[in-house]
Structure 1
Amino acid sequence: MARGLLLRRRIPDRRSGRPAVREHHGRPVHRPRHAATPGARRAARTGCARLVTIYAEVIGDPIAQSKSPLIHGFWIEQLGLDAEYRAHHVTSDNLADYIASRREDPDWRGCNVTMPHKQAVIPLVDRLEPLAKRVGAVNTIHRAPDGKLVGRNTDVAGFLEPLRDRLAKQHYFRMARVLGTGGAARAIVAGLAREGFTIVLAGRNPEKAGALLSELAEGEHHAADLAHFAETTDFDFDDREGCCDLVVNASPLGMRGQPPLPFDWSHAPPGSLAYDIVTDPVETQFLANARAAGFETIDGLAMLIGQAAAAFTHFFGEDAPREGDAELRERLLA
């Protein structure tokens, strides 16, 4: 999409009964480094009428903890776009009204969707991409060129992104132990199944795990009780050379305010990769224990940045400038 398509629109002069500032512009916005957007700076120099900037946002309940405004704001800053990215608190009761109001706002380019709305938004969009339909969860909504609202799932792409170099290799066998059966697990199971993994899905309710596997993963997979992995095992693993083994925390366990995930690393085959999708804190006990046991790790920021990059392109018509990922991670960890 040409950069020119991202230009701002002028707000009409105030008339009787018409506010000069739209309601949504009173909400919190992300302005990188607290600087005015390029359009606002030009308006100040020329004395023009105030300009409206296109925007996207993240919605959820709660939402204050979201790192998405920092991520998207960083990329907007790097590219010099006349755009903003905001966090907006939306409750379940207000979700339908939120979508209806944004449909009427030509400056709105879409939103990321976080808990607890990833499934509730499905009937509120005009169409679903096939992957979102298969996963049964939407984490990105954007306005298509025809004006329709499209529901997408970029969690799958975000989860797989840090694994791409590993998955580009040939393996005799791929196995993933996925811990958790919530919304995030749905995207992870669907993504791993497409990459040829045999999946062991563990949850507090093994029947729920089995149903999820039947729905999202073809082939022979296995459901297990999460408690099984909390106890030490003396299982003698076979030769894992040429295999790809993952252990994934797809649950909220280990998040700030949550108990840690009970996993004993004697259950992980030699050479396994530990992957925790939790982002607060980034350094979880799960990852610390994995490293202490000699395993390589991936933290939750990898998936968070990956899924955000896929959404950014849909919102603003530009690829996220990933060459700045190291600096971005520093800001997220500050």
Structure 2
Amino acid sequence: MSRHPQFAVFGHPISHSLSPLIHQAFAQQFGIALDYRTIDAPADTFAEAVKRFFEQEGGRGANVTLPHKAAAYALADERTQAATHVGTANVLTRQADGRLVAHNTDGAGLVRDLTDRHDLDLRGHDALLLGAGGAARAVAWSLFEAGVQTLTIVNRSPQAADVVADAIGEPARVHTRYWEDLGNIGCFDLIVNATSAGTLGQSLTLPFALAGARAVCYDLGYGKSAFSFLAWARAAGALHAYDGLGMLVEQAADAFELWHHKRPDTEPVYQQLKAHIA
């Protein structure tokens, strides 16, 4: 076993993950020799693999991606407020006393990408969130806390959307509509796609009327998985159409800071990744 603290990303599948590249690039900024690897863990072995990593292999921190974010949250001894709001975790940190802490940095990563990288002031925006899964829950809380004027959540299963809205508990600002109503619920100036359609190779059939004249459209995915939604956004006349690569880098920076107590410069890493996946 290495004498260095170990870091990893858990997922299934995981070979496609950009996390090792991102964290190595961050580490190079500070001259840190980093041991960071991917761990492919099917759902039935995830808990055992996490326990082994932290208790036997010198693990100090881990990123967690699909399909394990809810399981990671359940495993933890402590949970941050952001993780508790969402009910999932994308980061695990082992404390000096051995306790495992669950964090969720997804929503904060999205907001920072929009506000810092793309210079968008979210206050006063009418936002539409497509999807109600784990990533959508993180995004919903963070958009609400960042000051959007209204947040409308639409999901093919309306019950899941209701759960997200009810958890926030601000019916005057956060509410749900049926997927079948997308054609007549008006237009929005921020539309966030948090569905799994692009990842699954499916295209979303959305009415152009959803996009306001100055709409910003954002897909939580990146690369091929974001292509269909971003093509729709441009065809609908959106002012800007962004993928989630910046969010990926920003949420990773939060994890890096939690583990190493240093804040990396995300912009050069973002530009490096854009070139890498182009």
Give the structure-2-normalised TM-score: 0.89
Distance across 2 between alignment mates of 1:124 and 1:170:
34
Instruction: Determine if the alignment matches structure 1 residue 103 to structure 2 residue 54.
Output: yes
Distance across 1 between alignment mates of 2:21 and 2:246:
15
Query: Measured at CA, do residues 185 and 169 of structure 1 come closer, stay the same or move farther in structure 2, by a change above 3 Å?
Result: closer
Match in the other structure for 1:294: 237
Distance across 2 between alignment mates of 1:279 and 1:323:
16
Distance across 2 between alignment mates of 1:182 and 1:74:
30
- The unaligned stretches of length 5 or more in structure 2 are none
Give the structure-1-normalised TM-score: 0.75
Distance across 2 between alignment mates of 1:61 and 1:170:
34
Match in the other structure for 2:251: 307
Contact 2:219 2:226 survives alignment (8 Å): no
Instruction: Determine if the alignment matches structure 1 residue 203 to structure 2 residue 147.
Output: no
1:279 alignment partner AA: Y
Query: Measured at CA, do residues 234 and 258 of structure 1 come closer, stay the same or move farther in structure 2, by a change above 3 Å?
Result: same
Match in the other structure for 1:190: 141
Distance across 2 between alignment mates of 1:289 and 1:89:
34
Match in the other structure for 2:190: 246
Match in the other structure for 1:17: none
Match in the other structure for 2:132: 181
Match in the other structure for 2:166: 214
Equivalent position SS for 1:158: helix
Distance across 1 between alignment mates of 2:15 and 2:122:
42
Q: Give the CA deviation at 1:156.
A: 1.3
Q: Give the CA deviation at 1:222.
A: 2.5
Q: Give the CA deviation at 1:262.
A: 1.7
Deviations 1:20-71 (A, max 9, x none): xx3xxxxxxxxxxxxxxxxxxxxxxxxxxxx633321100111112111111
Instruction: Determine if the alignment matches structure 1 residue 149 to structure 2 residue 100.
Output: yes
Larger radius of gyration: 1
Equivalent position SS for 2:125: strand
Query: Measured at CA, do residues 167 and 131 of structure 1 come closer, stay the same or move farther in structure 2, by a change above 3 Å?
Result: farther
Q: Looking at secondary structure, tell me which structure has more helix per residue.
A: 2
Structure 1 moving runs of 4+ over 3 Å: 165-171
Instruction: Determine if the alignment matches structure 1 residue 268 to structure 2 residue 211.
Output: yes
Match in the other structure for 1:279: 222
Distance across 1 between alignment mates of 2:263 and 2:57:
22
Q: Give the CA deviation at 1:133.
A: 0.8
Distance across 1 between alignment mates of 2:120 and 2:221:
25
Distance across 2 between alignment mates of 1:129 and 1:268:
35
Q: Give the CA deviation at 1:260.
A: 1.1
- The unaligned stretches of length 5 or more in structure 1 are 1-21, 23-50, 238-243
Contact 1:155 1:187 survives alignment (8 Å): yes
Distance across 2 between alignment mates of 1:170 and 1:107:
41
